[in-house]
Amino acid sequence: MDLKGQSFSWCVGGAQGSGVDSAANLFARACAFGGFHVFGNREYYSNIIGEHSYFEVRISDEPVLGHTSSVDLLTTFDAETPFLHLDQISEGGALLYDASLVDVPLEKLPTIEPRAKQDLAKMFDEHGLPHTLDAIIQLARQRNISLHAIPYEDVLKADDALGQLPFSTLKRMVNTMSVAASFALIGYDFSYFHKALEAIFQSKPKVVEMNAKAAQLAFDYTKKEMGEPTLPQLKPLEVNEPRVYINGNQAVGLGKLAGGCSVQTYYPISPATDESTFLEQHQSFDVEQGDDGSILVLQTGDEIAAICSAIGAALTGARAATSTSSPGFSLMAEGLGWAGINETPVVVTLYQRGGPSTGLPTRSEQADTQFALNIGHGEFPRIVLASGDLEEAFYDAIRIFNYAEKYQTPAIHLLDKALANFGKTFSYFDLSKVEIERGALLKDSQLTAGADFNRFSFQENGISPRSVLGQPGGRTWYSGDEHLEDGHMSEDPINRDRMMEKRAQKLVVALEEIPTEDQYTLHGPSDAETTLVSYGSPKGALLEAIQRLNSSGHAVNYLQARLLSPFPAQAFTEILSKSKLKIGIEANFSGQFSQWVQQHTCVKMEHLVVKYNGRPITVDEVEAAVLNILSGNAPQKVVLRHGI
Amino acid sequence: MDLKGQSFSWCVGGAQGSGVDSAANLFARACAFGGFHVFGNREYYSNIIGEHSYFEVRISDEPVLGHTSSVDLLTTFDAETPFLHLDQISEGGALLYDASLVDVPLEKLPTIEPRAKQDLAKMFDEHGLPHTLDAIIQLARQRNISLHAIPYEDVLKADDALGQLPFSTLKRMVNTMSVAASFALIGYDFSYFHKALEAIFQSKPKVVEMNAKAAQLAFDYTKKEMGEPTLPQLKPLEVNEPRVYINGNQAVGLGKLAGGCSVQTYYPISPATDESTFLEQHQSFDVEQGDDGSILVLQTGDEIAAICSAIGAALTGARAATSTSSPGFSLMAEGLGWAGINETPVVVTLYQRGGPSTGLPTRSEQADTQFALNIGHGEFPRIVLASGDLEEAFYDAIRIFNYAEKYQTPAIHLLDKALANFGKTFSYFDLSKVEIERGALLKDSQLTAGADFNRFSFQENGISPRSVLGQPGGRTWYSGDEHLEDGHMSEDPINRDRMMEKRAQKLVVALEEIPTEDQYTLHGPSDAETTLVSYGSPKGALLEAIQRLNSSGHAVNYLQARLLSPFPAQAFTEILSKSKLKIGIEANFSGQFSQWVQQHTCVKMEHLVVKYNGRPITVDEVEAAVLNILSGNAPQKVVLRHGI
Amino acid sequence: MAFNVADYKTSVHNNWCPGCGDFGILNAIQMSLMDMQLDPERVTVFSGVGCSSKTPHYINTYGVHTLHGRVLPFATGGKLANPEMTVLAVGGDGDGLGIGAGHFVATGRLNLDITYIMFNNGVYGLTKGQASPTLHLGQQTKSLPNPNIIHEINPLILALSSGYTFIARGYAYDVAQLKALIRQGIEHPGLSFIDILQPCPTYNNINTRDWFGGADRKGEDGKAMPRVYKLDPNLYDPLISAETTDEEIHQKIAAFFAKATEWGDQIPSGVLLQNLTQSTYEERVIESLPKYKKNPPAKRQIESDNKPVLKINTILDELRVA
Amino acid sequence: MAFNVADYKTSVHNNWCPGCGDFGILNAIQMSLMDMQLDPERVTVFSGVGCSSKTPHYINTYGVHTLHGRVLPFATGGKLANPEMTVLAVGGDGDGLGIGAGHFVATGRLNLDITYIMFNNGVYGLTKGQASPTLHLGQQTKSLPNPNIIHEINPLILALSSGYTFIARGYAYDVAQLKALIRQGIEHPGLSFIDILQPCPTYNNINTRDWFGGADRKGEDGKAMPRVYKLDPNLYDPLISAETTDEEIHQKIAAFFAKATEWGDQIPSGVLLQNLTQSTYEERVIESLPKYKKNPPAKRQIESDNKPVLKINTILDELRVA
Ligand SMILES: Cc1ncc(C[n+]2csc(CCOP(=O)(O)OP(=O)(O)O)c2C)c(N)n1
Ligand SMILES: Cc1ncc(C[n+]2csc(CCOP(=O)(O)OP(=O)(O)O)c2C)c(N)n1
Ligand code: SF4
Ligand code: SF4
Ligand SMILES: [Mg+2]
Ligand SMILES: [Mg+2]
């Protein structure tokens, strides 16, 4: 077997709380230490302990953009994972499993979903197989998947020292062992594993020691038992630059710190909370001059308070944000409208998750698109900026404060659970690429203490110089009611019209000023006959898919939107008019972003490719869907259904 | 002067709390008693006492559909109204004012908006006029407006009996007097005035007596002083049917009672509250059989509780609704999503008001259109039904419960402040026109106590037979999380897809089942080259405007949408494709409904006619805007700005 | 027909963490329903969102798993529309006193006949252990990067100020007491609130089972001295009835206050207040709308042969103008 | 530079109803600011939505007229970002205890240094007189079609349970007392709550100026015996300080409770509680984030020549993998 396109996909699964995340972390770091680029995708239930979770790690000698539907090595240490993930193992791939579990009956696994259980049972019956894990092994064998059984407990028990330990302690090490065994299978330099182990458990030398021992046993056992390697044998690469492995929550958190966000409010909600926790951990940080690097993180009583407190803070001149996910965002509708009419630069970081309602709290979806674009009664300008990958997420987290302040309007940074939990290796971020632009924020010296001030003065570009609360000479009244230039309430119809027009004008200006490359990007051949239209987290999958498609002779490009509001309608109209076949691709049911494009351009997307099972779109899915559409046999709406 | 198109427009203005509403009520009723059809439009500030309010009443011998920009008789008893409304008086119209106020200086009127004050002062200066009410009189004279000065106080003081009363008591009668004087000017049979007075103050004979006396004085005084009549002299008509005069809040309230709504929740908010108050007043009512006619009206702690309690009630099988306006609606986003995923028939009556935020709390706008269509994170089916006039408002208030129950989904009855406060005379409503359809609601006899039940069973049409809380044999679990057929939580991707598809399917079916005439109406010549596209409260103005336009040789029709979700996209595409010029007309800034049409049809509206100053669109405005567009000189977006 | 405890259990896999205090509460609810022989189909359990709010899925009655913080308004609508149903509301401390605090107060004012059972674990469990409104100031549980800087709320006192007419505290591991408390709560005519101390072994490493059980406080006999103790009915009388004088009420409130604020080494459990002098919301409705009693909203007939039953002309006559 | 009372007034037309109690409160606020000689530009008055919430437009400081019920979260954000500002929060009883009840409780827990002034008129004024959360059960004001069937909330007791450390009651027509109370509230280091009895002559025809003034209760001398009376400092000591013993605290709470529940013929006014033993939120922040003191969020420098000042590599090093 070959390293397809230089990439190798590994997956570990298991019950929540049983060490899946640590295993993945270990694997990813060890790969990164060895110079590989790493991309991770994390899947888990809305549950603390016991339900099935898994982590896919894809590595390559080039930056990895997305994840694939299949995995080359499925690493397991429980019975459930092989049942659920068998189908995912690639042609020529491998399965690592706990030899002691082969007799575990399907019916005894309470966390397998009833539908999955039924389907599996039916399939076993059709193949005349027992309802045990052994059936999976047999099916894998039929598919020529190379099988690696490792009796974790026996291996440990066989060790003089470790064998003495209680079973509960031993059990906590099988995850580490599974990683070690994985490395044996891909012939990786084991010293990187040790480096990773130490890095992760720095403060717990005993843990390191014990796990290292157990890992060595698993590594040796596997080496001994595996026979000829069937998987690609990975050789470490040279790295000449420092790299980090970070996920989306961290990327955004870092961006906020860099962007000068000094107040973050939040109410806990998956998958947004980790960003706030990251900020709490870094509430004090080093700055170039002086010692005032700090951020106030305020846990509020609910999301209504979160948005309102963030606005209150923004009025004082602090860069203020709140971070939430879909249900929390629903509660911010009214607050956002207030910020809109009061021209307040407040940032909302929105991690969309599977909806509607509580929905699929730990799964991903892009189903709040139209909601974010239309949230709040009445009409007010808003910036909606969507990142497609973690690098964009970082830089956008800085930029969005600039936009919010320059156009004095609420700004939504649109992300999703996929991005929050995707992880990726990066070179160190380069802050010289970004600027802090505070727009028409007045300095004390530009104001006269005690004098009258019109916070909402009419200006041609709609942007009024802004004072902040407590500033001498900038005295202002803010009101959610329609108001005069000084902020006092007014129901005068003529003033009303002017204020509406003033506020709307800001977005016209924003569209002129924001660099095109921050508005949208046309990836791939600009003259391709087929154009994929999308925004947000599918970016990685789309980029790699169009590479594949173009390599295989299909001229396909990909129009990625970043700035959803104000929307570059004219540019989209022009680009799309050049294309023969427009395909909207997004992770929701109704193709919300495509509808947004249609509403503004009246250019029809001939096909929609959508996914709404809560699992992020993979490279393979995009490729297959586009080929299917190009073949002319696809329905108008193609639904992607990969996912476990 | 002629009764233009059989209609006559009267307007009374004055400070809030000074009797403007009573005056209008008196006038409207007296006209109605005399057999006229009446249409009323009420404008007021978000204030309890003191700010300027006015009431326009238009009457005709045919049903009146909307209101006009101009008024034929402006009736006043304060100084502010003539200042503000002078421009509105029609060619050949008349002004009735308090003779004792001519010297009141503009600057002494604190409630006139600063902008209006400036503009007036400037205008007076340009004309070399004093800054007093006298300037208005002079300008009116220049415009040949017939002027009728009545010194209310002097007239009263001259009376032996009334003259004795304290000034504060006298002041409370000038509103009645202004109506009486109005009737003198239009030569109306004064007995209808008395009838109206008695009807309104039934329980207060002393008030009737005193006001009747004062009115007679005003009537006689005016008759004596008016000279030759300049206004049309109105003769009572015969009526052979009972009629009511009701406003939008009452129409909807009545519809709810008829539709079997038995729980209404609300949190006070203008302009929705009056509907709930109406229901509270009618919490007990007569029914055809038995004695159980009742509705439970629950005032909750906020709108979040309002929607959640309504949903809780709906789960028990009661028809449940909540009624609110824009800011309250913003707080219902999350609750609506829960109802969506749980397929709960709950009705939200939404009176849109001027936004964003607190906005213009007592003014009208259709600026929540896209918000209502997209409210709530994630995707769930919803019915959005928009009434165009009070008759539709009544019947739709019944129908929407049918839709909610048949398609088991939240349903939004989309109205606005204009409709809430428009008043109109009607023949008695005919309940034989409507049915109560409860959809797949299971009777106890269709269930087996103690047996398992799948509330969310997969069905081809997406509609699962429904049990209600507490019903033997219908045991169900409801969850905001994605769930199985029995309602228990599930993150299974395959079940997820099926559930999303099941829920979405219901709207496909709804679109097939709901009669076309309840989805949309094409008014006017079906082959017209110009099509006005609109929904909601502008209906009256549009209907009359297309009549006028067609009479003057312009072939214009008007496509009125009623069902906004599910949207009859195909029908719209077909109808609009036949038209050469499509003009979206609506009361908001960005043409939200036009964008909704574009998003679904990709047919472009060549022009938008919009209004966002909070005052409802008038017949004249529509007519002028369309003529302007037809002349080829109009910008793509025409903004209507009439309003005081 | 007699119901046994299995009749109150569903076959749904319970995915709470091993050792979670929620299990004890779940058992107690099921046992009290059985005790009272309530027909599972006439009971609805509403919940919010959180670990604890998964409870309805494990109880074989009607279950309504609502939104985070909104359990009480949902339950209110259900109960008022169908007052014949027994209605329980359950959920976490974050749910009830964080995002749901407004409803906690507003519902107290209604005094409608439902029983609200709060699983109080000091953390937001399902979102991975942030400080909940009951976590004490200055404490730093496992997943907090810094000590808690928000003052705790006292649920019992808040319940009192909001108008709850039955206020009790239970402990997740004293299922027998809990069962009795829940039964009393259900039987109480009015709004009952039961604050349950619920160890969350995964995230709350301060208020643990050991801590409540006093494992760190050995008496002279070497035995743990539990922190949670039962109120002695001879020393503490929670009842306010029509006979209680104003003077006595003040004394009782003071005693309540003293007990409600006990924490640390002595944590009282049992019924802290039962006030029988307040009318229920249902009774007040009936006063102005007597029809409600026989024909509450869920039971009203609204159509006859699919035709509306409203006599609309009666109302139109009021609005008649010609 | 000395400020006179005119410096605290705007020229905006005040459109409250004639005789509205709000006027007295407005005056008292302006007078107390003057009394303290607070620079109007260093003060921000936040409000919710309602008649009373129009107040900021009439005060010549920074004014933030927020959303119905949301005054406290807005004020919290403003105060924490710029703690040097004097922050007042004002609004109606509906605003604060109806839709805003959740924030009322949550903010109490923070004990941050703001002063919350509640205009308590028993009605939702601006929406035309519906029952507010303080209207007593069974009462039927002008615009109610039926008597109120929701039990009133006691704002003072709710404030106590929520953690407010300064709790007072004033009366709209006793401007002198009110002015003093507001000043004390502002000077109190922590969260102050002032419940102000505010007649709404337009909609509340029960708790009128006459009623509060006792016009219906003539004494032997023929004079009205006002219902509102001032707490006697010799008989009632609201102070809880570091020296107060636990025992005394319990007594004080009981006394507070007794006073807070007085209503009808005797309605106490004055300071009901001042607790100096609680740290403020600002102090707690400083404990874990000392930089906050000198450089609160509004004052932090975030760029230098438009470049971010964060030393990002320090953090990246923590996350380094190669
Ligand atoms: C509007 C909204 N905000 C946040 C969340 C995320 N959330 C889910 S459960 C939970 C907290 C649960 O804590 P608690 O109510 O104490 O229950 P526990 O898990 O501790 O039993 C939160 C914040 C949500 N579901 N909805
Ligand atoms: C979300 C929302 N719901 C309802 C309203 C309508 N509303 C405006 S003021 C008000 C009540 C005001 O009562 P209160 O707070 O007591 O102030 P008052 O007018 O009595 O001073 C309400 C319900 C609103 N503005 N926003
Ligand atoms: S996280 Fe805590 S509360 Fe939640 S299930 Fe686990 S132990 Fe129980
Ligand atoms: S309605 Fe009442 S509270 Fe509002 S301004 Fe008038 S008197 Fe004051
Ligand atoms: Mg909890
Ligand atoms: Mg009030």
Task: Select the residue of B17, B45, B273 nearest D127 (Cβ to Cβ).
Answer: B273
Residue D106 near chain C (CB below 8 Å): yes
Chain A positions touching D47 (Cβ under 8 A) are none
Task: Select the residue of B51, B268, B283 nearest D124 (Cβ to Cβ).
Answer: B268
Ligand 5 center to C126 CA (angstroms)? 8
Per-10-residue mean pLDDT, chain A, length 644:
67 97 96 95 97 97 94 98 97 96 96 96 97 97 96 94 89 96 96 94 91 96 94 91 96 98 98 98 95 96 98 98 98 98 98 98 98 98 98 98 98 98 96 96 96 97 98 98 98 98 98 98 97 98 97 97 98 97 98 98 98 98 98 97 96
Per-residue DSSP letter, B150:
E
Ligand 5 center to B388 CA (angstroms)? 48
Asked if C99 and A267 come within 8 Å (Cβ–Cβ), the reply is: yes
What is the pLDDT at residue D303? 96
Whether residue D183 is predicted with pLDDT greater than 50 in this model: the reply is yes
D252-292 pLDDT, tens per residue? Answer: 999 999 999 999 999 999 999 999 999 999 999 999 999 99
Tokens, residue A310: 């963030």
Say which range, A371-375, B3-7, B487-491, C112-116, has the weakest mean pLDDT.
B3-7
The rounded distance, in Å, linking the Cα atoms of B117 and B127 is 15
CB pairs under 8 A between A and D: 267
Residues touching ligand 4 (Cβ under 6 Å) are B 48; D 16-17, 20, 22, 51, 121, 125, 200-203
What is the pLDDT at residue B3? 45
What is the pLDDT at residue B6? 73
What is the pLDDT at residue B4? 46
Please, where are the H alpha helices in B407-445? 417-421
Whether residue B124 is predicted with pLDDT greater than 60 in this model: the reply is yes
Does domain A7-225 match CATH 3.40.50.620? no
Instruction: Count CB-CB contacts under 10 A for residue A415.
Output: 34
Which residues contact residue A261 at a Cβ distance below 8 angstroms, ignoring those fewer than 6 apart? A295, A319, A320, A321, A347, A401
B241-264 pLDDT, tens per residue? Answer: 999 999 999 999 999 999 999 999
Q: Among A109, A330, A597, which would you mutate to test the B interface (most chain B Cβ atoms within 10 Å of its Cβ)?
A: A330
Ligand 5 center to C208 CA (angstroms)? 13
Whether residue C170 is predicted with pLDDT greater than 50 in this model: the reply is yes
What is the pLDDT at residue A433? 87
B581-621 pLDDT, tens per residue? Answer: 999 999 999 999 999 999 999 999 999 999 999 999 999 99
Positive or negative, the Cα torsion across C4, C6, C7, C8? positive
The rounded distance, in Å, linking the Cα atoms of C315 and C301 is 19
**B448, β-bridge pairs:** none
Chain C positions touching A51 (Cβ under 8 A) are 15
Which of B47, B265, B267 should be mutated for ligand 2, with most atoms under 8 A from CB? B267
The rounded distance, in Å, linking the Cα atoms of C213 and C204 is 15
What is the domain class of B245-432 according to CATH?
Answer: alpha beta
- Residue D1's pLDDT band (cuts 50, 70, 90): low
D19-50 pLDDT, tens per residue? Answer: 999 999 999 999 999 999 999 999 999 999 99
What is the pLDDT at residue C1? 61
Ligand 2 center to C197 CA (angstroms)? 37
Secondary structure element (H or E) that encloses residue B415, with its range: strand B411-416
- At the fourth CATH level, the homologous superfamily of domain C5-282 is Thiamin diphosphate (ThDP)-binding fold, Pyr/PP domains (3.40.50.970)
Looking at ligand 1, which atom is closest to the CA of residue C200? 20
Instruction: Count CB-CB contacts under 10 A for residue D305.
Output: 7
What is the pLDDT at residue B5? 53
Asked if B478 and C79 come within 8 Å (Cβ–Cβ), the reply is: no
What is the pLDDT at residue C177? 98
Chain C positions touching D254 (Cβ under 8 A) are 250, 253-254, 257
ipTM (interface pTM):
0.98
DSSP secondary structure, B501-525, as one string: HHHHHHHHHHHHHS-HHHHEEEES-
Chain C positions touching D150 (Cβ under 8 A) are 109-110, 281
Instruction: Name the burial class of residue D39, with classes exposed (0-12), middle (13-18) and buried (19+) by CB atoms within 10 angstroms of its CB.
Output: middle
Domains B7-225 and B245-432 alike in fold: no
DSSP secondary structure, A591-633, as one string: -HHHHHHHHHH-PPPSEEEEE-SSSPPPHHHHHHHHHHHHTT-
B27-44 pLDDT, tens per residue? Answer: 999 999 999 999 999 999
3-class DSSP string for C110-170:
HCCCCEEEEEECCEECCCCCEECCCCCCCCCCCCCCCCCCCCCCCHHHHHHHHCCCEEEEE
B147-169 pLDDT, tens per residue? Answer: 999 999 999 999 998 888 898 88
Q: State chain D's mean pLDDT as an integer.
A: 97
- C partners (3+ CB pairs within 8 A) are A, B, D
- A partners (3+ CB pairs within 8 A) are B, C, D
Task: Select the residue of D13, D49, D145 nearest B277 (Cβ to Cβ).
Answer: D145
Whether residue C311 is predicted with pLDDT greater than 90 in this model: the reply is yes
Model pTM score? 0.98
Ligand minimally distant from the alpha carbon of residue B268 = 2
CB pairs under 8 A between A and B: 265
Asked if C51 and A303 come within 8 Å (Cβ–Cβ), the reply is: no
Domain limits of chain A? 7-225, 245-432, 517-639
Which residues contact residue D245 at a Cβ distance below 8 angstroms, ignoring those fewer than 6 apart? none
Considering the segment(s) B517-639 as one domain, its CATH architecture is: 3-Layer(aba) Sandwich (3.40)
B460-489 pLDDT, tens per residue? Answer: 999 999 999 999 999 999 999 999 999 999
C92-102 pLDDT, tens per residue? Answer: 999 999 999 99
Q: State chain B's mean pLDDT as an integer.
A: 96
Q: Is B8 helix (H, G, I), strand (E, B) or coil?
A: strand
Shortest alpha-carbon distance between residue D143 and chain B (Å): 9
What is the pLDDT at residue A4? 46
Ligand 5 center to B564 CA (angstroms)? 41
Per the listing, tokens 């007309």 go with B585
Chain B positions touching D150 (Cβ under 8 A) are 299
Domain limits of chain C? 5-282, 289-319
Which of B45, B47, B266, B269 should be mutated for ligand 2, with most atoms under 8 A from CB? B269
Residues touching ligand 3 (Cβ under 6 Å) are A 48; C 16-17, 20, 22, 51, 121, 125, 200-203
Asked if B305 and C76 come within 8 Å (Cβ–Cβ), the reply is: yes
Identify which of B399, B467, B63, B99 has the alpha carbon closest to the alpha carbon of residue B259. Answer: B399
Which residues contact residue A51 at a Cβ distance below 8 angstroms, ignoring those fewer than 6 apart? A15, A16, A44, A45, A111, B491, C15
Whole-number CA gyration radius for chain B: 27
Chain D positions touching C111 (Cβ under 8 A) are 151
